[in-house]
Structure 1
Amino acid sequence: MSRDFAPELAGFRQEVAQWLDEQLSGPFAHLRGLNNHVDLIPERREWEAALGKARWGCIGWPEQWGGRGASIEEQVIFAEEYARAKAPSRIGHIGIELAGPTILLHGTEKQKKQFLPGIASGQDIWCQGYSEPNAGSDLSNVRTTAWLKDRRWIINGQKVWTSMAQFSDWVFVICRADSGTRGASGLAYLLVPMNQKGVTVRPIRQMTGEAEFNEVFFDNAETAAENIVGQPGEGWKVAMSTLAFERGVSTLGQQMQFRNELEELVAVAKANGAVQSPMIRQRLAKAHVGLTVMRASALRMLANDDPEKTPAGAYTYKLYWALWHRALGELAMDVQGLSGQVGTGEADFGALTHMHLMSRSETIYAGTNQIQRNIIAERALGLPREARGAQHA
């Protein structure tokens, strides 16, 4: 994929930018620049609905399911303009970027008709039920169970680090549907309603002062028998497809947010004189170069046209951006000096300090850096698998 866009796409970019500016200067002006996921939830649901009504919510989806059938280039342009406009972070991103594409790829026609319209319209917010206390980066070690009874799946277990669970309508859950299996076999991928008496959500307070992550407990929770994606025992295959979608077009929007942060950091360094330090200037330049490399790598990764096959280079992406962003957070604290350590309330810091604190979690969620290195070695480079204990067999 070329790093430049065809001239005929300039009109599309202008259309996107104009719509975003009209909305974020008008009815949704109070949401511009809002990057956390826990504030103003009712208003942000209205924003998701506005995106859905204008068919900007999931533009890469087929038109029949509420999208625009946009090309990869158009999706990239939208993601870039969305971040450039400082539009609010998407509370619907789990459904739009993970659940929806997975249902499009592996779901039945009935499942598509039932679930996709709610995601595309912004009505339904989703969360991801993967990690457990003893199965974080080792997803194949999940212990949450499910069995069929009277045409209903009965689910018991616990998930943790579940982003946005307290606001979500649905969750996709990896669980063990065959009690006699271990590892990647015997798993099921279930679509489960959150608003039921068998589901309890307990927010986890973070050092940022927010509670974006949650524990989720399933105590005889239920979902319909047909709310399984794939067949019983195919949960691992479906889950891997979902993880592959995490390296989708939204990565370009994420990078634009990174660029916004870097530009703000440069402005602070100029204002407080930190830019006079040769070491600070060198680190700022290194951050700029790293972000440029990140974008080129992402464009190359997105050139893959097989949704079920992850290109080798894509395995490095999460490790790369997590390390880059952590380093940017450390640089932000050095540039700000003591002022970056002072908040106006309990854990109420400025945007750059908040970014630094949040970046610590990014080296853990979606697979720790250590696990990412194992994945690169085993799946991308084809090296022998790391020795695992019997409990992970």
Structure 2
Amino acid sequence: MNISIIAGARPNFMKIAPIIHAILDQQQAGRDISYRLVHTGQHYDQKMSDTFFEELNIPHPDSNLGCGGGTQAEQTAAIMVAYERELLDNPADLVLVVGDVTSTMACSIVAKKLGIRVAHVEAGIRSFDLTMPEEINRMVTDSITDYFFTTSTYANENLLRYGAKEESIFFVGNVMIDTLLKNRARFSKPAFFDEMGLTAKKYMVMTLHRPANVDQGEKLKELIFEIVNNVQGLPVLFPIHPRTAKIFTDLGISADNLYIIDPLGYLEFNYLVENAKGVITDSGGITEETTVMGVPCFTLRDNTERPETISTGTNELVGTDPKNIKPALDRLFSEDIKKGGIPPLWDGNAATRIVDNILSIYGK
């Protein structure tokens, strides 16, 4: 059988890498399974160079559709047109999509209209916030998916509530954690770490990029001041997202313990996270990684599609009100903070389970 695997953005490649490695393992064992990796080009990322692929042992795409830029509608349309041509030229038995980017939704629609089955990795996660484009992508994709590969029992329950058949849901764990555990021993100290005199557990890491936090200048300024003023003088390292940088530059924000740094590669960024006193973020994926690494995490959002990072892990949902930041950080520094555990099946073997289930479904 042949699988068309879709990636639209840098994090997608980190999710599909262990799946491809599991496919290659099965090929070595003589199983009838192959893949074609399609990059839609949704996000152009300068850090997706040869170094990125080599650093994480990620295969290069077999095809790049080059569908970057444009509005949500323009990009969705461009991906659908280009991917239809790709599938007609390179037929597949199954289309496998990951996550919740525009490419996930667009390629799922194309596949179904061509009569090809769809498998969704990270199916069923929900924030229940329709102002998030990702939430719409999740809902549309799951409404037409044939096989759901989930990261948590919460996701299973969401799918069942929306009418998915139980026999089509496979609780396999988290492929992002497969990549994290495989590379954890290879995390690398950034060059500036020693130059700045940083010490493990004596600094904070902050990432902000969501519109609710960064699009209003005064709100962003208030959030950052609340953070830098309530970390007991510890350095706050801020690898700034390009989206945030455009707004941040015009605000003239500065503090003695605030350090703006360029976006980092996977191995360097996770070195910082693993050794931090705590992380303040509005990212979903980082909350998964901090949970596995046992690092306290404070999420500046009013909702999360990853509730297991709160119920089981080290994450705390702080909200977007700046007044909530000081009490949260006070708990961190008084050690009145939960230690957290690791959610079930976040053990580094999710990709193996996915491929095993696909082979079983197709009788290969």
TM over 0.5, yes or no?
no
Q: TM-score scaled by structure 1?
A: 0.27
